[in-house]
Amino acid sequence: MLILSRKKDESIIIGENIEISVVDIKGDQVKIGIKAPRDIKVYRQEVFTAIQRENLAASKTGTELPAIDLLQQKKKSK
């Protein structure tokens, strides 16, 4: 893990298109701002963990969506 020190209004750059800025510091809480392309998903760690847990639970239920043969449906509609 890379650990960097930043003060209020300072930033770090990840790659060429992600910027993380320290917006405010109050006591033991730090507010950060993230500039990233819209196709990059950004989650709080606890939300990401919950999403992974739900996805895993859903994959273990054994309920699969039925496969749809689009070519067969196209032939039927003619």
Instruction: Please give the model's pTM, rounded to 2 decimal places.
Output: 0.66
pLDDT at 27 over 70: yes
User: How many structural domains comprise the chain?
Assistant: 1
Q: What is the mean pLDDT of the chain?
A: 85
- The answer to whether residue 1 is domain-embedded is no
Contacts of 70 (CB under 8 A, 6+ apart): none
* Mean pLDDT confidence for 27-50: 94
Contact 33/42 with Cβ under 8 angstroms? no
- The answer to whether residue 42 is domain-embedded is yes
Q: Which domain holds residue 18?
A: 11-60
Give the sign of the dihedral formed by CA 22, CA 15, CA 3, CA 44. positive
Lowest mean pLDDT, pick from 8-12, 22-26, 55-59: 55-59
Q: Which helix (H) or strand (E) holds 45?
A: helix 45-59
> Rounded to an integer, what distance in angstroms lies between the CA atom of residue 67 and that of residue 10?
51
Token reading at 20: 């993380």
Express each pLDDT in 44-65 by its tens digit.
Answer: 999 999 989 888 888 877 655 5
- The answer to whether residue 71 is domain-embedded is no
